[in-house]
Amino acid sequence: MLELDVEVPRRRFCVEAVLHVAAAERFALFGPSGAGKTTLVETVAGLVRPRHGSVALDGRVLWARTRGRRATTEVPPWDRAVALVRQDPDLFPHLDVRANLAYSRRRSAPGELDRLVRLLELEELLDARPSGLSGGQAHRVALARALAGGCRALLLDEPYAGLDASLRDRVTALVREEVSRRGIPAMLISHELSEAQAFADTIGVVDQGRLLQVAAPRDLVLRPATRRVAELVGYRGFAPAAGASIGVHPDRVRPGSHPDRGPVLRGRLVKSHPSGVGFEADVQVDGARITCRFGEEVGPPGTDLELTVLDPPYFGHDGRILPAAQVTSA
């Protein structure tokens, strides 16, 4: 298990988090750029020193410091058995792929590196220098080097940059399988929710250095804890309700009145445009603008609409989620 309870001062804010990532668990840190996600991962790797707190892996304390005191424990990065794969692959430019991979061989089981080379389709790249690799190839080499090193925790800082969608899916599936097979905790950083959901058992939403919510991927979208979390996970409008507001996710709206499935809103179509195989529409509802996605066009601008929001979250004036019964009975 990976355990983290730290406070890390940054230039604009302080990053604070308490996290527990179990063996074989895949945990994603999701949030906007500059939210503090990389700071947390680098703290685990030993590249950033917290103001105070603790970091532990499999019961071994890697860092510990109480308020107002010097660090009582500080394990250097190279002795933590933690692998970090960054957006920049950080390959040795003067060495070919084979030699880059050899740096991890001393810790790997016999045949392990060869297995990873096959899985990540690196056989034809072994004699190439990093300068001759595409971005996707370089990331696959960096991932193989990390996994071959016998790490006890895997940290991934937006590692799929440069990979096309098909290869990203294959590499994500491979990493998921490796984490389960090895029984190690893994943390992924992403500012794309779909990427975090494809990887993780659990997602933590980070904004302005704060961990706002930790939940399963689907629960995070269906029941965001606050209005800010809702905004980050894709809600595109908040319609007024009795003493509250209704969170509207574009994919959770249906044309027509279906009160047995959720609250019914009445509004006017502002504009719409094609989106994928359907249409995205902006609708004005009681002074608020919401965005919806439909399978077909619902009319020209100015059309009056009835819309049903499927089992939505409700938020109070403080931005926190409210029980639906508390709103509907008001």
Provide mean pLDDT across the span 120-126: 88
Looking at residue 190, its pLDDT comes to 92
CATH (domain of 141): 3.40.50.300
> 213 and 232 share a domain?
no
The answer to whether 225 and 65 are in contact (CB under 8 A) is no
Whether residue 215 has pLDDT greater than 90: yes
Provide mean pLDDT across the span 204-214: 96
Looking at residue 15, its pLDDT comes to 95
Domain range holding 313?
227-328
Provide mean pLDDT across the span 280-309: 93
CA distances from 227 to 212, 213, 312, 318, 323 (A): 11, 11, 12, 9, 14
Percent of the chain with pLDDT over 90: 60
Looking at residue 107, its pLDDT comes to 59
Whether residue 329 has pLDDT greater than 60: no
> 53 and 196 share a domain?
yes
Looking at residue 12, its pLDDT comes to 87
pLDDT higher at 87 or 266: 266
CATH (domain of 285): 2.40.50.140
Q: Residue 252: which residues within 8 A CB-CB, separation 6 or more?
A: 309, 310, 311, 312
> 278 and 197 share a domain?
no
User: Of the ranges 162-171, 216-225, 260-269, 286-295, which one carries the lowest mean pLDDT score?
Assistant: 162-171
Q: What is the pLDDT of residues 7-16, one digit of tens each?
A: 999 888 999 9
> 209 and 81 share a domain?
yes
> 190 and 252 share a domain?
no
In total, how many domains does the chain have?
2
Provide mean pLDDT across the span 216-233: 96
| Residue in the block written with tokens 């003067």 | 94
Q: What is the pLDDT of residues 146-191, one digit of tens each?
A: 888 778 999 999 887 667 778 788 888 888 998 998 999 999 999 9
User: Of the ranges 8-22, 73-87, 149-163, 264-278, which one carries the lowest mean pLDDT score?
Assistant: 149-163
